[in-house]
Structure 1
Amino acid sequence: MGWQVFLASVCFMQGGIIQGLIALNNPDYVFRPYHTTLLTIGAIVFAIVFNTLLAKKLPLMEGAVLILHVVGFFAIVIPLWIMAPRGNASTVLFGFSNNGGWQSTGLSAMIGLSTPLTALVGYDCSVHMAEEIHDAGITLPRVIVWSVNGNALLGFLMAVTLIFTLGDVDSVLNTQTRQPFIQLFYNATRSRAGTSVMTAIVVVMLNACCVSEVATASRQLWSFARDGGLPGSSWLSVVPTGWNIPIRSVAISVLVTTVLACINLGSTTALNAINSLGGVSVLASYIITIGCLVHRRLTGRPLPSRRWSLGRYGLGINIVALCFLVPLFFFEFWPLARPVTAVNMNWASLMFGVTIMFALFWYAVKGRHQYSGPVVHVKREE
């Protein structure tokens, strides 16, 4: 559920940024909901081409994106270092703004963590491709560790750069582009062309994210269907002859994104309510998984054999991870600002509750009779 919603969210985000880019270069541009919907569908169509007709070229594309990722990082931060105004260190590091209307800055800060959450989740993206990776037992953990370490460094440098070059906060937040980072780029460069190039790098990277998330969401959907955990599992789990990819699961993932994009035509509030499911769903899966590991370690039950192990530090790392994730999960249900209205309300609690109730109902009625987890399959093969 989390990855299906995240896929739609990233495509929708890409569409919104493209609209912001149009507004930057054409001040008379009027934002229309159907523009965002069409751009979102365009992003998912591009992603499905790479995941079907050009599936064999996907590793090549990922390699090219990695190069752009590193080069694009410097193409953005260097102009900001050179051209943007510098903020005062004491103000930047110790000045706090409570623009959410909450009683305390601390509470506002905790609630505000839901905004950058997308940069802190998704580490399991490559895990869902495990069955298509050679020697996944050792390759995947190494990939995750090195990618997280590398991007943590780049992310820290980017964060420091942005907070020191933010400039006039009001102009950034109230920008006509509806994308604060675009206004930040323009305030620094004072060039629409330069800002467009810097923003285009972000758009291309998001497009690559869409391609990768289609691969992840479809594989996750297929593997769960293969184990009998979904309605229509017998149809979803079939890989048609001549295809080495779960084409039906890819099609369903694209269909879900398209339907969610069309909801924006009627109500942006309804779309935001559904999109809010992404963060809480992924966080819930992390908490459940790590919680099971902690329970096993504390009760002395042996863990399955594995080639990658955290050793004696595993329990401590798992507990620290839970201490970080649980508060994030709690505040993910809070609205970002007060007073709370139907428009700015965070409907994640309602959507998450309804989804869990449906899942429990499905499991009680039929799922428990046909679902057998992947561990059971492994034991049978042995």
Structure 2
Amino acid sequence: MADRNLSIVTGSGRHRSVAEEPVTSVLPKGDIPYDADHEFTADEEVLAALGYKSEFKREFSLWTTFSVSFAVLGLLPSFASTLYYGMGYAGTAGMTWGWLIAMVGIQSVASSMAELCSSMPTSGGLYYAASALAPPGWGPLAAWITGWSNWLAQVTGAPSVNYGTAAMILAAASINNPAYTPQNYQIFLVTVLIMLIHGCMASVPTKWIAQINSAGSTFNIFALIVVIILIPAGTNREDRGLPKFSSSSDVWGTIYAGIDFPPGVSILMSFVGVIWTMSGYDSPFHLSEECSNANIASPRAIFLTSATGGTFGWFLQLVVAYTVVDIDAALNDPIGQPYAAYLTQVLPLRMVNAVLALTIIAGFFMGQGCMIAASRVTFAYARDGCFPLSKYWSRVNKYTLTPVNAVWYNNVIGIIMLLLIFGGELTIGALFSIGGIAAFVAFTTPIFIKTAFVGRNFKPGPWNLGRASPIIGSIASAFVALMIPILCLPSSTGSDLTPATMNWTCLVYGGPMFGVLIWWLVSARKWFKGPRVNIQHRAFQEGDVSFDGKAINGDGESESGSHEQSKSMSP
């Protein structure tokens, strides 16, 4: 950042130096965002300092941004979809104190991400941050890896959530009609139908999307609280000759031997459920260009989403851990949905239907939130030319002022991914593992770069961690470094390890990422230079700057500068 007093006039008439902006500006030499026909608002000024022009209406507030991210988090449907991992790998111990351990690492990641968001509130999010913070010469590669990993996490979000919702819908039908057994093609068709509905819902104007997600988040919170109260209040365990709740010694002290690994590793492997459940808190980062007061409201939404989700999620884990009757029976029930099978163990049929209905509706809103967040990521990356035919996916619809093309690009790819349903439970389960590992790689790459290479030279935004920043960043980086190989471990070992019991995350995530790296080496490194600056700005070499956008040369004479469109960001 240049030290010269380069200033612009904001909409309020005040003068502000670009160097004084509470963001990590990337304009060359501390350059000035410039538009002779437009007065910048505070949010436009911040985005301009990051090198982008405003293309969306800023109709998201702190609450509506939090609503989208909490809907994407979708605690109740996320828990229902991943109960197989949390309970099946380590039993109730993994659900109680295991959740608390995992949340220390996850909240560290979320807090560090929020700090980055305050400094760089743009739709590109983590990908932009990785490029801006990387050591000289490494920015494009850091952005390339972060961007593609984040996109894989985003594009698998809606399909995996909607698959879980569809499975619950058909499981409810099976519970009420024991003669019916859901078939894979039926789950596929129901999931595709939900995907198409969500595609239509995500294509409407921003104001409508904000209202829909506000309603969806409110319902998610309501459903979560109702379920947390309803299960312990309505459990019929005593009718089965059991105590109303299991003893604390059993709940906290018994590690279920569900996989062929030592207990400690089993606990760590059960974190896949926690990680996937808690993976939606990055959404405010990607919505920051549509949020008012973005460099404060968006990071607050990130932090609140993770903290609120972690707290309520743990309460839900405790409820299930203290009431589950038979873990084996829940995991191996013919209806094929452990959450639904668990409910039939502890509640009367009428209550089972009520809880499933609440979970299904919450899952529907969650899938819609995932599709919105993914479309903003795709738009941001296409804006910088990352995808084939990027010019089509980066278009903003002139009627809705939303990235409709990006919505349907993701939708089609998501539907193709759903063909994994026909490969069986472990194959489709790779979507959940991908969501965890891909998101973690993307989340932590810029955090690690900031912690290890930038240090005190990082320019924080108005929401920051202060002196705790390097400590929290180190905890986040260490947690992710530990969890990435754990997320790739299979549930069986030795002679029991077969193609049917293999963890396919290495292939389904590693394959595309390997292809992306080959693409980088063969071609992309020659033309991809990181996020592109798309706002008009002026390049000043010497002298002061007047408020009408003209440079004053060394002799005190005013001269018109030429507008320059920078093709790329210089890390």
Q: Same fold (TM over 0.5)?
A: yes
The AA in structure 2 aligned to 1:163 is: A
Higher Cα Rg, which structure: 2
Aligned to 2:245: 86
| 1:193-342 correspondence runs (5 A) | 193-265=350-422, 270-273=427-430, 276-298=433-455, 300=456, 302-338=457-493, 339-342=496-499
In 1: Cα distance, 2:515 partner to 2:536 partner: 29
How is 1:360-375 mapped onto 2 (pairs within 5 angstroms)?
Answer: 360-374=517-531
Q: Given the superposition, is the C-alpha separation of residues 275 and 317 from structure 1 closer, same or farther in structure 2, using an over 3 Å criterion?
A: closer
In 2, distance between residues paired with 1:157 and 1:16? 24
TM-aligned CA deviation for residue 370 of structure 1: 3.6
Pick closer, same or farther for the CA change 1:376–1:304 going to 2, 3 Å: farther
Counterparts of 1:151 and 1:198, CA distance in 2: 19
Work out which of the residue numbers 154, 157, 181 in structure 2 matches 1:6: 157
Output one character per residue of 1:113-170: Cα deviation in whole Å (capped at 9) or x when no partner. Answer: 2233212322102211111111211110111222222222211211111111112223
Identity of aligned residues (%): 20
Alpha-carbon distance in structure 1 between the residues aligned to 2:470 and 2:202: 38
1:100 aligns with 259
Contact 1:137–1:307 (Cα < 8 Å) also in 2:
yes
Give SS of 1:115's match.
helix
Picking from 335, 338, 352, the partner of 2:509 is 352
The CA distance in 1 between the partners of 2:257 and 2:425, in whole Å, is: 25
- Secondary structure (helix, strand or coil) at the match of 2:256 reads coil
Q: CA deviation at 1:62?
A: 1.8
| Distance in 1 of aligned mates of 2:220 and 2:432 | 26
Measured in 2, the distance between the counterparts of 1:241 and 1:107 equals 52
Aligned-residue Cα RMSD (Å) equals: 2.2
Where does residue 188 of structure 2 map in the other structure?
Answer: 37
| Aligned mates of 2:535, 2:445 — CA distance in 1 | 21
After the TM superposition, which residues 90-129 of structure 1 pair with which residues of structure 2 at under 5 Å, given as runs? 90-102=249-261, 104-129=262-287
Taking a change above 3 Å as real, the CA distance of residues 379 and 144 of structure 1, as seen in their structure-2 partners, is farther
For residues 467 and 438 of structure 2, the distance between their equivalents in structure 1, rounded to whole angstroms, comes to 30
Is contact 1:21-1:196 (8 Å) kept? yes
**Count of residues paired in the alignment:** 378
Superposition deviation, residue 99 in structure 1: 1.4
AA at the equivalent of 2:364: N
* AA of the residue aligned to 1:314: S
- Post-superposition Cα deviations, 1:320-368, rounded to whole Å, max 9, x if no partner, equal 1122222111101111234221122112212333222221232234433
Q: Unaligned stretches of 5+ in structure 1?
A: none
CA distance in 1, matches of 2:427, 2:284: 30
Unaligned runs of 5+ in 2: 1-151, 236-243, 540-571
CA contact (8 A) 1:112 1:336 kept: no
Task: Tell me the distance in 1 between the aligned counterparts of 2:477 and 2:342.
Answer: 35
In structure 2, distance between residues paired with 1:25 and 1:341 = 35
Q: Which runs of 4+ in 1 moved over 3 A?
A: 53-56, 265-276, 374-382
Residue in structure 2 matched with residue 72 of structure 1 by the alignment: 223
How far is the alpha carbon of 1:375 from its aligned partner? 7.3
The one-letter amino acid of 1:143's match is: A
Query: TM-score under structure 2 normalisation?
Result: 0.62
Looking at structure 1, the residues matched to 469 and 280 of structure 2 have their Cα atoms a distance apart, in angstroms, of 21
Q: Tell me if structure 1 keeps the 8 A contact 2:204–2:400.
A: no
Kept in 1, the 8 Å contact 2:159–2:417? The answer is yes
**1:377 Cα offset (Å):** 5.3
How high is the TM-score relative to the length of structure 1?
Answer: 0.91
Mark the CA change 1:369 to 1:236 in structure 2 (over 3 Å): closer, same or farther: farther
Structure 1 pair 378–296 and aligned structure 2 pair: CA distance change class (3 A): farther
Tell me: CA distance 1:363–1:113, structure 2 relative to 1, closer, same or farther (3 Å).
same
